[in-house]
Amino acid sequence: MKICTDFRLTESRHLSPVYGLLTLQSEKPLPEIHAGQFAQVRADGSKTTFLRRPISICSADPETRTIRLLIRRAGDGTAALLDTPVGHLINIMLPLGRPFDIPATDSATDRPLLIGGGVGVAPLLFLGREMRQAGLNPEFLIGARSASDLLLLDEFKALGDVNITTDDGSLGHRGVVTAHPRLQRPVSHIFCCGPAPMMKAVAAAAAKLGASCQVSLENMMACGIGACLCCVEKTVRGNVCVCTEGPVFNINQLTWLD
Amino acid sequence: MARLSVNIGSLQLKNPVLTASGTFGYGEEFADFVDLSRLGGFVVKGTTLHSREGNDYPRMAETPSGMLNAVGLQNKGVGYFIDNIYPRIKDCGSEIIVNVSGASPADYVAVAERLAPLQGIRAIELNISCPNVKQGGMAFGTTCAGAASVVSAVRRAWEKTLIVKLSPNVTDIVEIARAAEDEGADSVSLINTLMGMAVDVERRRPMLSTITGGLSGPAVRPVAVRMVWQVAKAVKIPVIGLGGITCGRDALEFLMAGATAVQIGTANFLDPAATMRVIDEIEDYCTRHKISDIREIIGII
Ligand SMILES: Cc1cc2nc3c(=O)[nH]c(=O)nc-3n(C[C@H](O)[C@H](O)[C@H](O)COP(=O)(O)OP(=O)(O)OC[C@H]3O[C@@H](n4cnc5c(N)ncnc54)[C@H](O)[C@@H]3O)c2cc1C
Ligand SMILES: Cc1cc2nc3c(=O)[nH]c(=O)nc-3n(C[C@H](O)[C@H](O)[C@H](O)COP(=O)(O)O)c2cc1C
Ligand code: FES
C-alpha cells in the first residue's frame, strides 16, 4: 500500500553546508516501509522544480508516523527541501520500490558488510537497524571526502563496527572504500549505496571476493511508480524500471561487469 | 449534479476525463491513489506487434513547467498485453483504450486484429505521432497521405471505435485531422508531444540519449488548446484534447475550445490522484455555474 499525503516538517537538522536531515510527520498512518525503499517528494518551495524528487527513506517509525530523509543539496529541488521552515507541509508519496534482501543468518566471522558513500548512507542506516532487529550483526564501511562529510556516525556506531575511509585522510584510512583492508578479507554479503563510480568499484571488488552484492541505483525518475518507463536500467532481462524493480538490484542482474 | 457523460464514437463515457497513453501505465500502478471505475476511461501504453526495448537511458529531462521524454515505445508486445495484462484490468469498471503503434500500416492492422476479439477493449487509439521512434510513428502523422494510409487500412480491420492521435509537429494539423476523418476515424486526439531538445552545458552533451525528445506538461498547453480549437472547428467527429492538463480549470479550457473529452498525462506524475481531482473540479465548476449538462459548454468558443 502506497500513500501520497502531506507530512509536517518537525525538525530540520543542518549536518554540513551540503547535507541536512529532515524529520517529517505524516498526516495519515504510515504503511509498512523497509530499508531500500524511497519516497517521491514534492519540492513546492522551488519554482524551477517541476517533477517530484526521489529520496531514500533513512528511517521510519510507524508509532510516531515519522520518517527521516537525509538530503544533499544538489540543485534547486533539494535546496528548497533543505530550506523548508520547520512546521511547513511537504507532500510525499511512499513507500516506493523494492527493499534490500536481508540474509537469513550471519556469524561472528561472516557479518554483512554495508558500504556507503555520501548521501548513499541514508538507506544503509535503515538497513543496519533492520538487520539488528533480525538478529544479525552488520558491519559498515563508509567513505567520504573528508571527516566533516561523514554523516550520522554516532547512529552507525550504535548498530555495529564502522570502518572509515576519507579522500584526504582526515579520518580512518586515506583513499577510496575499495582500498580499505576490510575488503581484502572474505565476506559473503555486501550492500552498497553511493555514487555510481563507487558502486561499480564495490561491485567489482565483491565479484573478486565471491560475495553477493546488492546496490541501490539513483536513476533519474519522473513518476516513481512504474508508469512512465523513464528510469530504466539495462539488466540481464532487458530494460527494467529502477523505481519498481529496484532501486535495489543484485549486481548479478545488472550488466556492469560484462 | 451535472450530467458529465459524453460520447466518442460508440463509447459512452461516464465523464470526459481519460488518461494519456504512456503516463498512466496500465492503470494498476495508480490503484492506491485512483478509483479506476470513476474515470471516463484510460488509455494504456503504446502497444506494438512485437516487444520493444525502447531507447537507451537517459530518456527523460526536466524542463520549465514540463519534461522531455524519449522512451521509444518500450512495451512487451500485443500478445503479452492480451495474455498477461488484459485479464488483470478488464473488470476495472472503466473503458480501456489501447494505444497502437507500428512501423508500417500492416503492423497497425495486425495489432488491431489481435485486439478485436477482446470484449473489454471497445476502442483503440492509433499513435501516428510518436516522435521517439525512427521508423513509423510520427512519419505517418506528418503527411496527409501517411495518415490516410494507416487509418484506411486499420478502419477495414477494426469495427469498434477508432481514435487517431495527431502530432503537433506539423505545419497544419487541421489537414491531417481532415485526412483521418475522411478515412473513417471516429475521433481524433491531440496533441502528442512536441519535439524538443535540451543540453547539459556542464557536460556539453544532450540531456537525452536520442538528442531530441517529446515535450509534455503545462509548457505545451496553450499550443494544444489552440490546435484543439482549430481542429474542432474543421471536423465533425469528436475531438479529444490533451497537453498539460493539471486541474479542472485546464480541462475546461479544452472543453470550451471544442474537445468532447480530455486526457490527463504528465500531471499523473506530479499528483497520482490528478484525474480524480480534475473530475471533482469539473463537477464543482458545473455546480457553481449552474450547468446541468457538460455538453452545454463543449465548443462554446
Ligand atoms: C531511488 C533514489 C534515491 C535517492 N535518495 C537520495 C537521498 O536519500 N538523498 C539525496 O539527497 N538524494 C537522493 N537521490 C538523488 C536525488 O533524487 C537528486 O539529487 C535530486 O533529484 C536532485 O534534484 P535537484 O532539484 O536538487 O537538482 P537538479 O537541479 O535536478 O540537479 C542537480 C544535479 O543533480 C543531478 N541529478 C538530478 N537528478 C538526479 C538523480 N536522480 N540522481 C542523481 N543525480 C541527479 C543532475 O544531473 C544535476 O547535475 C536519490 C535518487 C534516487 C533515484
Ligand atoms: C513518459 C511519456 C510517455 C509517453 N508515451 C506515449 C505513448 O506510448 N503513446 C502515445 O500516443 N503517447 C505517449 N505520450 C504522449 C502523451 O500521451 C501525451 O500526448 C503528451 O504527454 C501530452 O500530454 P500531457 O502534457 O498531459 O502529458 C507519452 C508521454 C510521456 C510524458
Ligand atoms: S520513474 Fe516512471 S517508471 Fe520509473
Q: What domains can be seen in chain A, in order of their start residue?
A: 3-96 (2.40.30.10), 100-215 (3.40.50.80), 217-258 (2.10.240.10)
For residue B66, give the ligand 2 atom closest to its CA: 25
Residue A106: pLDDT band (50, 70, 90) is: confident
A235 interface with B at CB cutoff 8 Å: no
Mutating to test ligand 2, I would choose from B19, B21, B99 the residue with most ligand atoms within 8 A of its C-beta, which is: B21
For residue A242, give the ligand 3 atom closest to its CA: 4
Rounded-to-integer distance, Cα B8 and Cα A42, Å: 35
Stretch B204-231: mean pLDDT, rounded?
Answer: 97
Give the three cell numbers for residue A226.
512504474
- Residues B92, B130, B144, B286: which is the catalytic one? B130
> For a pLDDT cut of 70, what percent of chain B falls above it?
98
Q: How many angstroms separate the CA of residue A231 from the nearest CA in chain B?
A: 7
Q: What is the pLDDT of residue B134?
A: 64
C-beta A241 within 6 A of ligand 3: yes
Q: What is the pLDDT of residue B107?
A: 94
Rounded-to-integer distance, Cα B70 and Cα A193, Å: 27
Active site residue B247: no
pLDDT in tens, B165-201: 999 999 999 999 999 999 999 999 999 999 999 999 9
Taking CB atoms and an 8 Å cutoff, what residues of chain B touch A233? 57
Query: Could you say which of A1, A4, A49 has the minimum Cβ distance to residue B272?
Result: A4
B59 interface with A at CB cutoff 8 Å: yes
Q: What is the pLDDT of residue B137?
A: 66
Contact A52 B25 (CB under 8 A): no
- Determine how many CB atoms are found less than 10 A away from the CB of residue A156: 22
Rounded-to-integer distance, Cα A161 and Cα B200, Å: 41
Query: Quick check: A231 and A219 in contact, CB under 8 A?
Result: yes
Q: Which ligand has the shortest distance to the CA of B194? A: 2
CB pairs under 8 A between A and B: 83
Q: What is the pLDDT of residue A257?
A: 80
> For a pLDDT cut of 90, what percent of chain A falls above it?
93
A4 interface with B at CB cutoff 8 Å: yes
C-beta A171 within 6 A of ligand 3: no
Mutating to test ligand 3, I would choose from A93, A243, A249 the residue with most ligand atoms within 8 A of its C-beta, which is: A243
Q: What is the pLDDT of residue B135?
A: 63
Tell me the one-letter amino acid at B121. Answer: I
A217 interface with B at CB cutoff 8 Å: no
Q: What pTM did the predictor assign?
A: 0.96
pLDDT in tens, A157-215: 999 999 999 999 999 999 999 999 999 988 999 999 999 999 999 999 999 999 999 99
Comparing A15-29, B135-149, B200-214, the range with the smallest average pLDDT is B135-149
Give the pairing type, strands B66-69 and B95-100. unpaired
Q: What is the CA radius of gyration of chain B?
A: 18
Rounded-to-integer distance, Cα B53 and Cα A149, Å: 40
| Domain covering B6-54+71-197+215-296: architecture | Alpha-Beta Barrel (3.20)
Stretch A231-240: mean pLDDT, rounded?
Answer: 95
pLDDT in tens, B81-119: 999 999 999 999 999 999 999 989 999 999 999 999 999
Contact A222 B60 (CB under 8 A): yes
Give the three cell numbers for residue B285.
465548476
Cα separations in angstroms, A171 against A142, A195, A220: 11, 20, 32
Q: What is the pLDDT of residue A118?
A: 87
Query: Could you say which of B67, B268, B272 has the minimum Cβ distance to residue A50?
Result: B67
Tell me the one-letter amino acid at B182. Answer: D
pLDDT in tens, A50-81: 999 999 999 999 999 999 999 999 999 999 99
Rounded-to-integer distance, Cα A39 and Cα A53, Å: 8
**For residue A171, with 0-12 CB atoms within 10 Å meaning exposed, 13-18 middle and 19 or more buried, which class applies?**
middle
Q: How many angstroms separate the CA of residue B79 from the nearest CA in chain A?
A: 18
Alpha-helix residue ranges (DSSP H) falling in chain B: 78-80, 86-89, 105-115, 138-141, 144-157, 173-182, 221-234, 248-257, 267-270, 274-288
Query: Quick check: A209 and A187 in contact, CB under 8 A?
Result: yes
Taking CB atoms and an 8 Å cutoff, what residues of chain B touch A225? 25, 29-30, 272
pLDDT in tens, B31-45: 999 999 999 999 999
Query: Quick check: A247 and A36 in contact, CB under 8 A?
Result: yes
Residue B136: pLDDT band (50, 70, 90) is: low
